Every structure is written in C-alpha cells, then in structure tokens.
Amino acid sequence: MIILKIKEKGLYIEIPGITPFRTPAEVNITHVSIPLVASKLQSQGIFKYEIISDTKGKEKKYTNKDFVKKKRIENSPEERISALENLILNLIDKIPSNQNNNEEQINKKLDQIEKLIKKQPKQKIVKWTPDPEFITKDKDVIKKNSNLKTNPEIEEIFIPTVNVDVMKIKGDSSKITTEQDNADIDEAADLLSQIGKRK
C-alpha cells in the first residue's frame, strides 16, 4: 500500500485517479504512479508531504526532496560576461608578440571570440521597474486599473460541490423517532414571530 500524507491544513487537492480531497489527509495512492502524484503536488505548490510505500513489510518514505530535479548551477549574466572578458584577455595575451603583424592569425582569434560572444544568452540585462498596473504607497499595493478581471469568490472555490447521485443508502435501522407536540411549536413560532416584528 502507498499512502500520501499531507499535514498542512486547508488545501484542496486534485490528483488524477483519486477523488479530490481536503487536507490534512492520509490518502491511499496505491493505484496512482508516485511521480505523477509528486508532479501534481508540485504543480499545485505543495512541497510538504510524505509518500509512504509499504511493500511486504519494507517501508520507504519519500518527500518532495526525492522528486526535485537537480538544477544546473548557472551563473548570473554579469558573472558570465566577466568570465568572457577574462577569456578574451587571456586569448589576446596568448598571441605571441612576434606574430603581431600576422593578420591571418589575429583574424582567426577574433573569429573565435565572436563565436564565443554569439553563444552568450540573448537575455537583456534591464533595470527592474514596477508593474504599471500597480502603484505602491505606504507599503500598501493599490490596484490602479479597475477593469482587471476579478477572481471568483474565494469561498465559492473552496466549498466542495456535493454529488451523491452515484452513492446509494440502504436500510432504515439507524433512525430513532421521537414524538413532538406540534401545538406547542406553532404557539412558540407565533410568539417568536410577534417579538421579531416588534423589534
């Protein structure tokens, strides 16, 4: 059996192959592939979870860390340009002084440098400017453009829809029935109604 455990409260999670559920929860995901579960959770921004696989008494635990792709460490564009400058300087230094007049040699080196420069990312380094849709004032972000589409009510999104058409209830043995006096109820409702009107 493979169990997915999420302790964080208040998340509504949809994973293909299992009924959508709300956290905190422990869900049986035996019939769903573990990488699929991990990628779905990651796409929904959920990183704190445990997947416990118990096969023939051997328990294995997986967390988000087990599924994170190890990213290649990339230097910033400034660092790369600086490295390239050093490379060019080194190349120029390596040109022997007695070949100073050898145009062919120099052109060859310059071609190499051009190639290197062309391989650099096309990304521009620009100064960050705030989004024109927002202006900041006293730390509060104020929305400037009122025509922006508003999101649906948060409550509406999180209240689950109920569909019990596919479920059936059988038997009638669980109900207990108590008699009540309806005359008293009507009198009380009349009085409450009158008091309500006086307010």
Partner 1 sequence: MREKKEIEKNILCLGCDIGTMHICCARSDSDKINTTRNVFLPLDNDNINISDLSDLSYVRSEDDELYVIGSDAFKFANIFGKEVSRPMESGLISAKEIDAIDILTLMLKDLIGDVKDKEAYVSYSVPAEAIDNKRSVTYHENVFGSIFKTLGINCTSINEAMAIIYSECVKEHFTGIAISFGAGMANVAVSYKGTEALTFSTARSGDWIDKQVADSLGMVANRVTGIKEKYMKLTGPIENKNKKTKRVLEALYYYHKALIEYTVKQIIKEFDERIDIEIDEKLPIVISGGTSLPTGFTKLFKEVISGYDIPFEISEIRRAKNPLTAVANGLLIRTISDVKNMAK
Q: Please report, as ranges, the residues that interact with partner 1 according to CB under 8 A.
A: 9-10, 19, 21-25, 27, 155, 158-164, 166-182, 184-193, 195-197, 199
Q: Smallest distance from the beta carbon of 188 to partner 1, in angstroms?
A: 5
Contacts 24+ apart (CB under 8 A), 8-15: 8/46, 8/48, 11/44, 11/46, 12/157, 12/158, 12/160, 13/40, 13/41, 13/44, 13/46, 14/40, 14/44, 15/40, 15/41
Q: Least distance in Å: CB of 45 to partner 1? A: 19
Give the residue with the Cβ less far from partner 1, 131 or 181.
Answer: 181
**Rounded Cα distance, 38 and 26, in Å:** 15
The smaller minimum CB distance to partner 1, of residues 20 and 77, is found at 20
Q: Which is nearer to partner 1, 148 or 166 (CB)?
A: 166
Least separation in angstroms between residue 158's CB and partner 1 is 7
Token readout for 184 is: 């008293």
Q: Which is nearer to partner 1, 142 or 154 (CB)?
A: 154
Two tokens, residue 82: 């600086």
Q: How far is the CB of 125 from partner 1 (least distance, A)?
A: 47
What is the dihedral angle through the alpha carbons of 60, 65, 68, 70, rounded to the nearest 10 degrees?
A: -110
